[in-house]
Structure 1
């Protein structure tokens, strides 16, 4: 009798929980304005293309990652990049490390601090024909930045590279072996 009562209570609680959960608003996939580019699932497991430090206003340290299509294009020096190539730039604040420096004879250690944002470049020559085949996005804490002027500035900057290196296919990062 006791087991039946517990089972009935458990069933009632489960029904209540699932019933309430079904009424919660569904989260839509976050997409960038203009291009509709999403934050790729599993991108943190992608291979490293290169790393970079940008001084000045950003003062960040970056890891540039690529999906399998991008990595194959990099390694085989295929340009333009094929459709489906995705390049992700993950950035953190560039900070000195007092902890590490306490071990060294002079201050010299810099590390990734707090995350700043993730930028995504996705190649699709048909979808993004007006921007050289690339669509762009920026995410903060996994949420697409809704700023249209910010996202428009991506292509405006990348197209400048075309004037000095048409073979780059609007991509700043070279593969670091």
Structure 2
């Protein structure tokens, strides 16, 4: 009986090890390609930097949030942003409010609908030397978008800004 139990434990241990080697750990693999950016812990509790509506193809509404490092830099006008600055852009479908539309004679209140994605920008001047000190990631439903071409477009767009902006589109809304 002991030999059977020992054999069973051995087989179970080997099978478990093989399974662990095959099944990816989402906590370590949920990073963006190119930059290796992940969703920061607690980002939903960060301070609001600004709100934006992007018309056109995206037609979304965005809440731009920042960690303490980037909020302090925005408030003090510090550029370039210091290492450790992190910006989170939460995008949602831009839609009129059915509840308010029922009360008012015409659609006039627009709200955040379903979430579309979260984009993260991380300042690390040593790690991201080729991209002005910034690394980028995009996440849908909490999962890192693995499209390298998509992530490579981030820096290309940000370089169109005036250099005094340190590659950041957002401004601080007091």
Which structure 2 residues correspond to residues 47-86 of structure 1 after superposition, within 5 A?
47-86=47-86
Cross-structure match for 1:101 = 101
- Write the distance in 2 (CA, Å) between the matches of 1:94 and 1:58: 9
TM-score (norm 1): 0.83
SS of 1:36 mapped into structure 2? coil
Stretches of structure 1 that go unaligned for 5 or more consecutive residues are: 1-18
Deviation at 1:99, TM superposition (A): 1.3
Pairing 1:172–2:164 present: no
Cross-structure match for 1:133 = 133
SS of 1:50 mapped into structure 2? strand
- Provide the alpha-carbon RMSD of the alignment: 1.8
Deviation at 1:149, TM superposition (A): 0.4
Deviation at 1:106, TM superposition (A): 2.7
Q: After the TM superposition, list the runs of 4 or more consecutive aligned residues in structure 1 that deviate by more than 6 angstroms.
A: 21-24
Cross-structure match for 2:27 = 28
Query: 1:72-100 CA distances to partner (integer Å, 9 max, x unpaired)?
Result: 10011100000000000000000111211
Cross-structure match for 1:42 = 42
Cross-structure match for 1:122 = 122
* Aligned length, in residue pairs: 156
Stretches of structure 2 that go unaligned for 5 or more consecutive residues are: 1-12
Deviation at 1:107, TM superposition (A): 1.7
SS of 1:160 mapped into structure 2? coil
- Write the distance in 1 (CA, Å) between the matches of 2:27 and 2:165: 34
Deviation at 1:158, TM superposition (A): 0.3
Per mean C-alpha deviation after superposition, the further-off stretch among 150-159 and 106-115 is: 106-115
Deviation at 1:27, TM superposition (A): 2.9
- Write the distance in 2 (CA, Å) between the matches of 1:35 and 1:106: 45
